[in-house]
């Protein structure tokens, strides 16, 4: 694409891209730390993860300030306006991803002393890896302005939903087996839900990348697989 006649406008748009890339990098790192702290039952790592969320918040505020000034100063239109507005919206999604990851780390702190059943951790790890890949791919699609890649992320989220469904059932089983598992399993259940929500935010970002590049919103319904909200839970009578 041709550059703006006003070079400082071009510089500002590049700075905006750098900021969003930096936010994305922080969110990716935080998600990794949060899961590892859960897996290793490592309070120090969990505390570090909780602390690093404030970096993402700070970056979001800076980006928001920059966007406000740019709109006032440049009165952007067409692709520039889409660029600026979608980056602002994506920053909101990344900030939420940071919050959700931080919440996982907090739960890791709460259950640090308890022993974890191995299959649960394996399931959580598998789900997190899927979401991490989605986050990485969607951030790449943003940096490359690659609609195909964004659409792949958008379509792949139902696998995360399916994984969440199976974890949900597994956790219910553990809780029913022994009420002493309920505390741990509840934290795991919220943790899994947070990861699933992070997956949803990656699809939001994918939709924004699509809009940024094409100027068209995706109007189709996204394939979804989370059926837990309509699952009836019955306790076996003893």
Partner 1 sequence: MDLSAVERIESARVAHITSNAKPAKVLARDVNVHYGDKHALKDVNVEIPDRGVMAFIGPSGCGKSTFLRCINRMNDTISTCHVTGKITIDNQDIYDPSLDVVQLRARVGMVFQKPNPFPKSIYDNVAYGPSIHGLTANKAEMDEIVQTSLEKAALWNEVKDRLKDSGTSLSGGQQQRLCIARAIAVNPDIILMDEPCSALDPIATAKVETLIDELRTNYCIIIVTHSMQQAARVSQRTAFFHLGTLVEEDSTQTIFSNPKDQRTQDYITGRFG
- Residues lying near partner 1 in the complex (CB under 8 A): 1-6, 9, 75-82, 215-216
The token duo for 42 is 């490592």
In the complex, least distance from residue 13 CB atom to partner 1, rounded to whole angstroms: 10
In the complex, least distance from residue 77 CB atom to partner 1, rounded to whole angstroms: 5
Q: How many CA atoms lie within 13 A of 233 on its CB side?
A: 11
Q: Closest CB to partner 1 among 87 and 160?
A: 87
Q: Is 7 exposed, middle or buried (0-12, 13-18, 19+ CB in 10 A)?
A: exposed
In the complex, least distance from residue 80 CB atom to partner 1, rounded to whole angstroms: 5
Q: Closest CB to partner 1 among 81 and 143?
A: 81
In the complex, least distance from residue 2 CB atom to partner 1, rounded to whole angstroms: 4
CA distance to 49, 122, 167, 172, per residue, from 177 (Å): 32, 19, 15, 9
In the complex, least distance from residue 219 CB atom to partner 1, rounded to whole angstroms: 15
Q: Closest CB to partner 1 among 82 and 89?
A: 82
d(CA 71, CA 101): 31
Q: Closest CB to partner 1 among 3 and 178?
A: 3
Cβ neighbours around 149 below 10 Å, total: 19
Q: Closest CB to partner 1 among 81 and 182?
A: 81
- The residues, any chain, with a CB within 8 Å of residue 32's CB and separated by 6 or more, are 132
- The residues, any chain, with a CB within 8 Å of residue 90's CB and separated by 6 or more, are 20, 142, 205, 208, 209
């Amino acid at each position: 694409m041709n550059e703006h006649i006003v070079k400082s406008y071009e510089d500002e748009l590049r700075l905006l891209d750098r900021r969003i890339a930096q936010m994305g990098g922080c969110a990716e790192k935080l998600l990794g730390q949060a899961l590892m702290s859960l897996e290793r039952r490592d309070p120090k790592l969990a505390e570090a993860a909780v602390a690093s969320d404030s970096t993402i918040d700070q970056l979001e505020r800076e980006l928001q300030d920059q966007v406000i000034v740019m709109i006032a100063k440049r009165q952007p239109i067409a692709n520039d306006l889409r660029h600026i507005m979608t980056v602002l919206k994506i920053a909101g999604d990344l900030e939420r991803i940071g919050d959700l990851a931080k919440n996982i780390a907090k739960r890791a702190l709460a259950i640090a002393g308890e022993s974890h059943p191995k299959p649960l951790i394996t399931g959580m790890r598998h789900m997190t890896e899927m979401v991490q890949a989605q986050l990485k791919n969607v951030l790449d699609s943003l940096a490359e302005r690659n609609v195909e890649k964004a659409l792949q992320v958008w379509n792949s989220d139902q696998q995360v939903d399916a994984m969440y469904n199976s974890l949900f059932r597994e956790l219910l089983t553990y809780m029913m087996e022994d009420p002493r598992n309920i505390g741990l399993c509840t934290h795991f259940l919220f943790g899994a839900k947070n990861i699933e929500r992070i997956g949803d935010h990656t699809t939001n970002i994918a939709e924004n990348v699509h809009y940024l590049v094409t100027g068209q919103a995706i109007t189709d319904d996204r394939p979804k697989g989370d059926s837990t909200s309509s699952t009836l839970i019955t306790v076996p009578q003893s």
